[in-house]
Amino acid sequence: MSVLRPLDKQPGLNTATILLVGTEDALLQQLADAMLKEDCASELKIHLARSLPLPSDVNRPRIDLIMFVVNLHSKYSLQNVEESLRHVDATFFLGKVGFLAMGEGRLS
C-alpha cells in the first residue's frame, strides 16, 4: 500500500480513470452510474473505494481524478476522508482532486 501519485503510470490513450472514495457504497454506485451514462468522447473508467490507501496492484490503472464524497450526516464519513487524504501525494491536488458533499442539514 502506497501513496497515490499522479505520474506513477503512463496515461491511456483517450481514457480517463476516476476514483470515487467514500463510505456510502450505494451513493458512490449511483454517482458512478450517472457519470457513465453521460456521452463522452473518451472512455471513462470509474473505480470505487471505501478508503485509502489502495492495495498495491501492478495492474491497477492510472488514476486521473480522485473524488472524495462526504456524507454531511455522518461524522465517520468526514473522518474517513481526512484519514484517506494522508495517502494522496501533494501534487495530486493541482486539479486532480475534488470533494463532493452530500446531504444537508446539521450533524446530530
Q: What is the pLDDT of residue 104?
A: 66
Instruction: Write out the three cell numbers for 51.
Output: 478508503
Decide: 21 and 68 in contact? Cβ < 8 Å. Answer: yes
For residue 6, count CB atoms less than 10 angstroms from its CB and return exposed for 0-12, middle for 13-18, buried for 19 or more: buried
Q: How many other β-carbons are positioned within 10 Å of the β-carbon of residue 20?
A: 21
pLDDT at 103: 82
pTM for this structure?
A: 0.85
Q: What is the pLDDT of residue 1?
A: 54
Residue 4 CA to residue 10 CA, distance in Å, equals 14
Q: What is the DSSP string of 31-88?
A: HHHHHHHS--SSEEEEEEESSSSPPP-TTPPPP-EEEEEEETT-HHHHHHHHHHHTTB
Per residue of the chain (108 residues), give pLDDT as tens: 577 776 666 777 788 899 999 999 998 999 999 999 998 888 999 999 999 998 877 788 889 999 999 988 888 999 999 999 999 989 888 889 999 998 865 554
Distance CA 94, CA 98 (A): 10
Measure the CA–CA gap between 36 and 90, rounded to whole angstroms: 28
What confidence tens digit (pLDDT) does each residue in 27-51 have? 899 999 999 999 888 899 999 999 9
